[in-house]
Amino acid sequence: MRIIGWDIGGAHVKAIIIDFKKKKLKSSQIYCPIWKNLNNLKKAIKLTKKKLGKCDYHSVTMTAELSDAFINRKRGSKYIIKLTSKILNTKKTFFYNKNKFIKKNIALKKTNINSLNWHAIGNFISNFYPNSILVDIGSTTTDIIPIKNKKIISKGSSDYKRLNYNELLYIGVIRSPIHAVEKKKKIIYENFANLSDVYRILNKIPKKNDLAPTLDNKDKNKHSNARRIARVYGKDYKKKDFERWKKVASKIEKKQINILKKNISKIKKENFKNDVPIIGAGVGKFLLKDACKKKKYYPFESNIKNTNSNKVVNCETAVSVAILLKKYLKQINN
């Protein structure tokens, strides 16, 4: 059986095909700014399908419906359901709906399939780490998901509620502005630089995951990154000052790590009496190695057979929905 798992976001379309018989997988990530033009989404899905090849089923979850390309999330999810079903084949396509999967006609009538990427990855990880906290750090957001006795026990069910409970942080490692982390300094609140500039300088982001253009549409070399960061602080950049701005980047990283520590600790105290392992996912999971020094930390792919770290990174949700669909199909066919 071959299944393609889809994680359709507002800035990236991520997918992974798993050949369960041959125990092989192949991933794809495409930058897809749908807020600029909805045709970008159509092109990205078609290109990904062509790249990954034939399969038996498609398993889909999404966050792209929250894009301001749509008047509201309900309209957005309906558009994505119809588009994916048309391109991928309605009969083969399933949509993640918490503990089950649904087809197009049912999905169009429901509103609770919106932004369930966090739930899908948490659901999957619960099979390996029944008592844990999953932290998924992406390009734009961070999900902190408590799991107890194999059940997701997040207090929030929607983005609004999860934001209020600190289970969803709108801070990633690529698209987030520097002022999302650097809040106490007197800086320029303009879109001159973002956190991708910080982590490029520190050599923390793999090039294959660094797909979004820079804010000034200039190069991604170390001097261009430093120049953009300097501008946020009201400074003009000179090459001889590179090491100075690298130190600034390191300080910003430490502040983001402290934000993670604070929020992980809060959720841990609210839900667990004892320490539990922290599971890291997403392109920004490198931050967790420092944030969890005294705790048990495991990357998403550890203890999961036939997964390659290089192929899986930033596609963890796509992996999750693909494997969860296989399990679901086995249950309903028995």
Q: Which residues contact 234 (CB under 8 A, 6 or more apart)?
A: 187, 188
Q: Which residues contact 292 (CB under 8 A, 6 or more apart)?
A: 264, 278, 280
Q: Are 259 and 190 part of one and the same domain?
A: yes
The tens-digit pLDDT sequence of the chain (334 residues) is 999 999 999 899 999 999 999 988 999 999 999 999 999 999 999 999 999 999 999 999 999 999 999 999 999 999 999 999 999 998 999 999 988 899 999 999 876 788 999 999 999 999 999 999 999 999 999 999 999 999 999 999 889 999 999 999 999 999 999 999 998 789 999 999 999 999 999 999 988 899 999 999 999 999 999 999 999 999 999 999 999 999 999 999 999 999 999 999 999 999 999 999 999 999 999 999 888 876 799 999 886 665 556 678 889 999 999 999 999 999 888 7
Q: Are 101 and 136 part of one and the same domain?
A: no
CATH number of the domain enclosing 190: 3.30.420.190
Q: Which of 272, 333, 322, 263 is nearest to 121 (CA)?
A: 322
Domain count, the chain: 2
Q: Are 111 and 136 part of one and the same domain?
A: no
Q: Are 42 and 178 part of one and the same domain?
A: no
Output the pTM of the full model. Answer: 0.94
Q: Are 150 and 66 part of one and the same domain?
A: no
Q: What is the pLDDT of residue 154?
A: 96
Instruction: Compute and round to an integer the Cα radius of gyration of the chain.
Output: 20
Q: Are 137 and 228 part of one and the same domain?
A: yes
Asked whether residue 309 is assigned to any structural domain, the reply reads no
Scan for tokens 């028995």, then name that residue.
334
Asked whether residue 76 is assigned to any structural domain, the reply reads yes
Q: Are 95 and 213 part of one and the same domain?
A: no
- Residue 162: give the domain boundaries: 129-303
Q: What is the pLDDT of residue 304?
A: 67
Q: Are 82 and 136 part of one and the same domain?
A: no
CATH number of the domain enclosing 56: 3.30.420.40
Q: What is the pLDDT of residue 303?
A: 67
Scan for tokens 């966090």, then name that residue.
118
Structure-token pair, residue 136: 């998924």
Q: Are 97 and 173 part of one and the same domain?
A: no
CA distances in angstroms from 42 to 13, 35, 37, 80, 209, listed in the order given: 10, 13, 10, 9, 21
Q: Are 268 and 224 part of one and the same domain?
A: yes
Asked whether residue 268 is assigned to any structural domain, the reply reads yes
Task: State the CB neighbour count (10 A cutoff) for residue 106.
Answer: 14
Give the separation between CA 2 and CA 322, rounded to whole angstroms. 9
Q: Which of 187, 194, 192, 190 is nearest to 171 (CA)?
A: 194
Q: Are 112 and 133 part of one and the same domain?
A: no
- Phi and psi for 144 in degrees, rounded to 5? -115, 110
